[in-house]
């Protein structure tokens, strides 16, 4: 069978260490087409750290299901719209991020927090609950098509190429949301907020640019100074190589309103020291999802009444705000491209997982991969 | 020697499990009298959980020094004021809390956050840095006199007896500060903030009353329902016995703006479940100081973008705000009294440590104990 009955993607069949990146073509049945759904012919899908995590079952989900097609930074063209779809028509260039369903009726959804809806469905590796009572396993964007509720589909501003647009859909909004929610807006006139961004990768490069665009004096933290020049090109005002400057915390104690941590691991990560960089009542927000728990001394919090938390993706409203700001300010991710294929996906996933890209890989030409 | 050359107090001599509460009279030399200092003849000192913690060296401070006179909820009369003291005169009834020195010059102090000044000195068990270059070990309020910088001395509203006033000075302001700082003030008109108070003890009884007085719908959490009636008397709108109601979290998921945790221990404490009670972006603030670290799953934070933090005491400005609010609203601690003596201190410390009081013990008649 073919579209619209089945879609085809490059799937991970086995998450074990030897095979996680060896994808193969895989035909799957999408969720039933519902009245608010949009079918998108995929052109480009960039590679998020979560793709590699999920391909490896890095979070150890007991119910993870393979074959799994990953990918949730998707750009393509609308090829079909349901009868209740408004604002999209066939031919529109659109994007899809990491969320593709929520109840849209609970108090959380109604408060523009549908990313935290208990009925959240992720674009891949999750379970759709369909209106007809059936369920469908969700597959991602290393595919020829995707079928998504209109609330989770977004217009792409013209100034962005496909590969520039794609990383906004997860990495972009994942950093934009905690910044827009937590950068203080009640500082005295003339006092700029100060924001720290920990880590320069797919998330960090977006966070640095958004922090600047949102008016914050921006401090970038990295273990070594290898990425120092890149940090300044992205807009950093200050750069701190935590592994090279002994007592680095001394110059920055009690300075920052907010630290956005994009690091994906807690190993050798000195959270208790980072917390000292926060102003009284400042916030540390993790957008990486480490595979191990946080361990924090109560005294670290008591020293400056700081807070620690995390953030997940960004909302529909924030996605639109983000694209508007990015288009206005000329914010763009740095992207390498690889044409989508079995070999291309393998190369891209491994570059991502082993931090070998600067700072995102986009899989292009999806339309050619499945012809 | 006697006052003003030396003071006398009931001191812990040995923090070991058999002897920590067996205090004995002890004569000590106070810090030099400086131009902003006030000498206070102590009448009443109530017993804070920190007194018992410190008497037992519960936090395992390697440099803890004994003999140590504990006590930092002190009420008495001014007997001497330094030449630069303003607003206090001999005979005034005043109080002193857990902080007795800070630099008062750094950016933290200047922002009314002197409780987080790196040069903070606690009223007992800490080291004064004197203007003449010397240092003095600080001793607390189970004593006949104390000598405190005017910034850390507060007038007591007339409506409170000594024993009613004393617990405000630590337990009161320790709960008032995180509430006034963190109860959201930007909710839509007509929407009340919702605050949870975990634990009913010396801190919890104050937190419940302040939460109500600050306009919040107040949820009280306790392991059993033994203190349910007390919680309602103190002003609770809702009571949840977490040890008796299976799945207690279900009714309260995503409901609270703020949880103030007064529990002093992390043992058997299911932080990850409590965090589910928070609204999106809600805050969990610990004012107890457990002896072990917090361990939290990143997913607990991601589920609702919540924050976890802690708070330490309350500032000079907040102390004054708190007494004003308490006097206006008739907020009072529930206090048992025991006359100060070696036996009285022992009884009081043990009642406090083993949670046998409802909900504070005040040591009274200090003036008679040292005649």
What is the spatial distance between Cα A217 and Cα B298, in angstroms, rounded to a whole number? 27
Is the separation of the CB atoms in A70 and A51 below 8 Å? Answer: yes
In chain B, residues with a C-beta closer than 8 Å to the C-beta of A305 are 113, 116, 178, 181, 309-312
* Residue-by-residue DSSP string for A193-232: PEEEEE--SHHHHHHHHHHHHTT-EEEEEESSSTTHHHHH
In chain A, residues with a C-beta closer than 8 Å to the C-beta of B113 are 280, 305
Rounded to the nearest angstrom, the minimum Cα separation between A193 and chain B is: 16
Which regions of chain A carry the CATH code 3.40.50.720? 173-310
Task: Judge whether residue A344 has pLDDT over 90.
Answer: yes
Compare CB distances from A280 to B108, B301, B302 and report the shortest one's residue: B108
What is the spatial distance between Cα B156 and Cα B92, in angstroms, rounded to a whole number? 9
pLDDT (0 to 100) of residue B269: 74
Q: Which fold has domain B173-310?
A: Rossmann fold (3.40.50)
Compare CB distances from A111 to B181, B280, B293 and report the shortest one's residue: B280
Share of chain A above pLDDT 70, in %: 99
* Residue-by-residue DSSP string for B2-69: -TTT-EEEEEB---STTTTT--EEEEEPPPPP-TTEEEEEEEEEE--HHHHHHHTTTT--TT--SSB-
Compare CB distances from B295 to A113, A286, A295 and report the shortest one's residue: A295
> Do A298 and B299 count as a contact with CB atoms less than 8 A apart?
no
* Residue-by-residue DSSP string for A236-300: -SEEEETTTSTTGGGGTTT-EEEEEE-----TT--HHHHHTTEEEEEEEEE-S--SS-EEE-HHH
Helix %, strand %, coil % of chain A (to 5): 25, 25, 45
* Residue-by-residue DSSP string for A282-303: EEEEE-S--SS-EEE-HHHHHT
Residue A292: pLDDT band by 50, 70, 90 thresholds? Answer: confident
In chain A, residues with a C-beta closer than 8 Å to the C-beta of B181 are 281, 305
Q: Which fold has domain B7-170+333-369?
A: Quinone Oxidoreductase; Chain A, domain 1 (3.90.180)
Q: List helix spans (H) across chain B.
A: 49-55, 107-110, 162-165, 171-182, 202-213, 228-234, 271-275, 298-302, 316-329, 342-353, 366-369
For residue A76, list its beta bridge partners. Answer: A42, A94
Average pLDDT, chain A: 95
- Measured between CA atoms, the residue of chain A closest to residue B106 is A254
What is the spatial distance between Cα A297 and Cα A350, in angstroms, rounded to a whole number? 35
Compare CB distances from B280 to A113, A290, A293 and report the shortest one's residue: A113
Please report how many Cα atoms fall inside a 13 Å half-sphere around the Cα of residue A300, on the Cβ side: 21
Residue A38: pLDDT band by 50, 70, 90 thresholds? Answer: very high
What is the spatial distance between Cα A178 and Cα A286, in angstroms, rounded to a whole number? 9
Please compute Rg for chain B using Cα positions. Answer: 20
> Do B307 and A283 count as a contact with CB atoms less than 8 A apart?
yes
Overall average pLDDT of the A262-276 stretch:
82
> Do A309 and B301 count as a contact with CB atoms less than 8 A apart?
yes
**Phi and psi of B240, rounded to 5°?**
-125, 120
Query: Which residue in this structure is represented by tokens 């708070």?
Result: B311
Is the separation of the CB atoms in A34 and A4 below 8 Å? Answer: no
What is the spatial distance between Cα B115 and Cα A328, in angstroms, rounded to a whole number? 43
Task: Judge whether residue A58 has pLDDT over 80.
Answer: yes
**Residues 6+ away with beta carbon under 8 Å from A195:** A179, A183, A211, A216, A217, A218, A219, A256, A257, A258, A259, A260
A248 interfaces chain B, CB cutoff of 8 Å: no
pLDDT (0 to 100) of residue A293: 80
> Do A280 and B311 count as a contact with CB atoms less than 8 A apart?
no
| Structural domain A7-170+314-327+334-369, CATH architecture | Alpha-Beta Complex (3.90)
pLDDT (0 to 100) of residue B63: 82
In chain A, residues with a C-beta closer than 8 Å to the C-beta of B299 are 289
- Scanning B278-317 for CB atoms below 8 A from A yields 280-281, 283, 286, 289-290, 293-299, 301-312
pLDDT (0 to 100) of residue B88: 98
Compare CB distances from B116 to A283, A305, A309 and report the shortest one's residue: A305
A343 interfaces chain B, CB cutoff of 8 Å: no
Overall average pLDDT of the A31-41 stretch:
98
pLDDT (0 to 100) of residue B59: 77
> Do A307 and B305 count as a contact with CB atoms less than 8 A apart?
no
Rounded to the nearest angstrom, the minimum Cα separation between B300 and chain A is: 9
> Do A293 and B297 count as a contact with CB atoms less than 8 A apart?
yes
Tokens representing B98 are 């857990």
pLDDT (0 to 100) of residue B61: 82
In chain A, residues with a C-beta closer than 8 Å to the C-beta of B307 are 283, 307-309
In chain B, residues with a C-beta closer than 8 Å to the C-beta of A61 are none
Q: How big is the CA angle at B76 (ends B70 and B80), to the nearest 5 degrees?
A: 105
Element (H, E) at A319: helix A316-329
Task: Judge whether residue A295 has pLDDT over 90.
Answer: no
What are the mean pLDDT values of chain B's consecutive 10-residue runs (371 residues total)?
92 96 97 98 97 90 91 98 98 98 96 96 97 97 98 98 98 98 92 97 97 98 96 98 93 96 78 93 90 79 93 97 98 98 98 93 95 74
Which regions of chain B carry the CATH code 3.90.180.10? 7-170+333-369
Which regions of chain A carry the CATH code 3.90.180.10? 7-170+314-327+334-369
> Do A281 and B181 count as a contact with CB atoms less than 8 A apart?
yes
Compare CB distances from B116 to A116, A289, A304 and report the shortest one's residue: A304
Task: Judge whether residue A350 has pLDDT over 80.
Answer: yes
Compare CB distances from A296 to B294, B307, B311 and report the shortest one's residue: B294
A107 interfaces chain B, CB cutoff of 8 Å: yes
> Do B178 and A281 count as a contact with CB atoms less than 8 A apart?
no
Q: Which of B298, B299, B306, B311 to mutate to test the interface with A (most CBs of A within 10 A)?
A: B298
pLDDT (0 to 100) of residue B294: 79
Q: Coil, strand or helix: which one is B129?
A: strand
Is the separation of the CB atoms in A283 and A289 below 8 Å? Answer: no
pLDDT (0 to 100) of residue B212: 98
What is the spatial distance between Cα B334 and Cα B235, in angstroms, rounded to a whole number? 13
Tokens representing A239 are 């750069």
Compare CB distances from A307 to B111, B303, B309 and report the shortest one's residue: B309
In chain A, the N- to C-terminal Cα span, in Å, equals 14
What is the spatial distance between Cα A96 and Cα A98, in angstroms, rounded to a whole number? 7
What is the spatial distance between Cα B212 and Cα B234, in angstroms, rounded to a whole number? 9
> Do A293 and B290 count as a contact with CB atoms less than 8 A apart?
no
User: Which residue pairs, CB below 8 angstroms and at least 24 apart, start in A339-345?
Assistant: A339/A363, A339/A364, A339/A365, A339/A368, A339/A369, A340/A10, A340/A45, A340/A142, A340/A364, A340/A365, A340/A366, A340/A368, A340/A369, A341/A10, A341/A369, A342/A10, A342/A22, A342/A23, A342/A24, A342/A25, A345/A10, A345/A21, A345/A23, A345/A142
> Do A308 and B301 count as a contact with CB atoms less than 8 A apart?
yes
Q: How big is the CA angle at B345 (ends B344 and B346), to the nearest 5 degrees?
A: 90
């Amino acid at each position: 069978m073919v579209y619209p009955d089945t879609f085809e993607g490059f799937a991970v069949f086995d998450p074990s260490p030897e095979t996680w990146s060896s994808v193969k073509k895989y035909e799957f049945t999408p969720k039933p087409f519902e009245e608010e759904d949009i079918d998108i012919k995929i052109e480009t899908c960039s590679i998020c750290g979560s793709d590699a995590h999920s391909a490896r079952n890095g979070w150890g989900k007991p119910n993870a299901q393979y074959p799994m097609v990953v990918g949730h930074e998707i750009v393509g063209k609308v090829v079909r719209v349901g009868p209740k779809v408004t604002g999209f028509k066939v031919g529109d260039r659109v994007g899809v991020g990491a969320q593709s369903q929520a109840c849209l009726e609970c108090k959380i959804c109604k408060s523009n927090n549908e990313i935290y809806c208990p009925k959240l469905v992720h674009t891949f590796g999750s379970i759709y609950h369909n209106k007809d009572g059936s369920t469908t396993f969700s597959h991602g964007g290393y595919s020829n098509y995707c079928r998504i509720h209109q609330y989770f589909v977004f217009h792409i501003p013209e100034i962005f190429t496909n590969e520039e647009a794609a990383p906004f859909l997860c990495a972009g909004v994942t950093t934009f949301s905690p910044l827009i929610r937590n950068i203080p807006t009640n500082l005295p006139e003339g006092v700029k907020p100060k924001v720290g961004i920990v880590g320069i990768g797919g998330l960090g490069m977006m966070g640095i640019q958004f922090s600047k665009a949102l008016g914050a004096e921006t401090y970038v933290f990295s273990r070594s100074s290898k990425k120092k020049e890149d940090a300044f090109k992205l807009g950093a005002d200050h750069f701190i190589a935590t592994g090279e400057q002994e007592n680095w915390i001394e110059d920055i104690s009690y300075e920052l309103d907010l630290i956005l941590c994009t690091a994906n691991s807690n190993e050798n990560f000195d959270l208790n020291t980072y917390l000292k960089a926060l102003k009284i009542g400042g916030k540390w927000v993790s957008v990486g999802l480490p595979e191990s728990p946080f361990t924090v001394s109560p005294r670290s919090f008591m020293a400056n009444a700081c807070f620690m938390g995390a953030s997940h993706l960004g909302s529909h409203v924030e996605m639109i705000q983000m694209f508007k700001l990015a288009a206005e300010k000329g914010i763009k991710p740095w992207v390498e491209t690889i044409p989508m294929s079995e070999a291309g996906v393998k190369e891209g996933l491994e570059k991502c997982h082993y931090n070998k890209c600067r700072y995102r890989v986009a899989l292009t030409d999806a339309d050619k991969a499945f012809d």
